[in-house]
Amino acid sequence: MTSIKLEEYSESKPSVVTVGSFDGIHLGHMKLIKKTISISKEEGLKSIILTFNPHPKVVLNKISNFSFLSTYDEKNTIFKSLDFDFLVVKKFDDAFSKLTPEEFVRDILVEKLNVKHVVIGYDHHFGKNGDASYKTLNELSKVYNFKVTQIDAYIKDGISVSSTKIRNYISKGNFKLANKLLGYEFNITGTVVKGKSRGKKLGFPTANIMVNSSKILPGNGVYLINSNVFNKSIHGMMNVGKNPTFKDKGYSIEIHFFDFEKNIYGIKISVNILKKIREEIKFDSSSELSKQLQEDKKKCFQIIKSLKKTS
């Protein structure tokens, strides 16, 4: 897979293109991508994912603090593992948002990407104000000589998969459903930074991680997590919140890894969130907090044991 800016794309061979923001790259997105790859092989076309940066919602809705399922770098990591030819990235700005549907099709899909087949989702909209949908694209395909395939919603256990639903599940701490719709365990990526070292005094040394501000985070509380550090899969528990016992003003993400003592300051790690253990609680003393952490750890090990039985 080659990642390239739209302006720098110069491949002359005809292509099959799927278009979208792909926040989270969930099961619905994968259905689109797999169909695109399949058509590429069947029809002898270059396979292209056309995506946007920043996310259209940031520009169109003037939202500066929108929380996404995946950061740009996290999406790139997943894209690189897929079997397609080009990831083409278009900067989404005011000028681009004002293109008419026909200008988008003619100038970008046809003239720039030499498209012969377009694959879109059931709810895909494009062009100025997002007014155009499958019907418009199908009409334009007859003018500019390309095919259009529309993919139905991906239904998982009776639920139609969407980024919005997954965000809602994450906000409510329901990672069983969020992970089911994603098709993988929701994760956050960040760099380990120095904290206040309170955890060590409590018998629970923690790694504090600094996460991209655009990333959606779970609500305050304690979570069972899994991570791969130095090529070793390890479990742990993560606290998200403001440490009310110590009256901290700041917001932190702290992870206590089980049976792990190596120094990982400055290391970038990815953490998979498996299950919410409890809400964040204010304790009257550090000793009460320490007792609760012991109970949290026991609960985590019980869940890990049950996960091993079902795997």
pLDDT tens column, 183-198 = 999 999 999 998 766 6
pLDDT, residue 58, reads 84
Return the higher-pLDDT residue of 311 and 10.
10
As a whole number of angstroms, the distance between CA 54 and CA 52 comes to 6
Within a domain: residue 106? yes
The pLDDT tens digits for 87-104 are 999 999 999 999 999 999
pLDDT over 70 (residue 278):
yes
Say which range, 215-224, 237-246, 270-279, has the weakest mean pLDDT.
237-246
Same domain, 60 and 132: yes
pLDDT, residue 201, reads 67
Q: Report which of 93, 94, 111 is spatially closest to residue 102, judged by C-alpha positions.
A: 111
Contacts of 258 (CB under 8 A, 6+ apart): 234, 235, 236, 237, 297, 300, 301
Contact between residue 15 and residue 114 where contact means Cβ atoms under 8 Å apart: yes
Contacts of 298 (CB under 8 A, 6+ apart): none
Percentage of the chain modeled with pLDDT above 70: 95
Contacts of 12 (CB under 8 A, 6+ apart): 114
Within a domain: residue 226? yes
Contact between residue 229 and residue 266 where contact means Cβ atoms under 8 Å apart: no
Mean pLDDT of the region 195-202: 69
Same domain, 240 and 295: yes
pLDDT over 80 (residue 128):
yes
Same domain, 113 and 192: no
In the chain, the number of structural domains is 2
pLDDT, residue 311, reads 60
Same domain, 21 and 148: yes
Same domain, 208 and 96: no
pLDDT over 70 (residue 263):
yes
Within a domain: residue 8? no
Contact between residue 109 and residue 115 where contact means Cβ atoms under 8 Å apart: yes
pLDDT over 90 (residue 250):
no
Within a domain: residue 178? no
Within a domain: residue 65? yes
What are the structure tokens assigned to 7, written together? 């302006």
pLDDT over 90 (residue 241):
no
What does pLDDT average to over the chain?
A: 91
Q: How confident is the model at residue 66 (pLDDT cuts 50, 70, 90)?
A: confident
Same domain, 123 and 202: no
Within a domain: residue 274? yes
Within a domain: residue 92? yes
What residues pair up with 238 in beta bridges, in sequence order? Answer: 223, 255
CATH number at residue 54: 3.40.50.620
Give SS3 for 7. helix
pLDDT, residue 121, reads 93
- The dihedral through the CA atoms of 124, 130, 136, 140 has a sign that is negative
SS (H, E, C) 11-29: CCCCEEEEECCCCCCCHHH
The pLDDT tens digits for 49-65 are 999 988 888 888 776 67
107: containing domain: 13-156
Within a domain: residue 180? no
Mean pLDDT of the region 275-295: 91
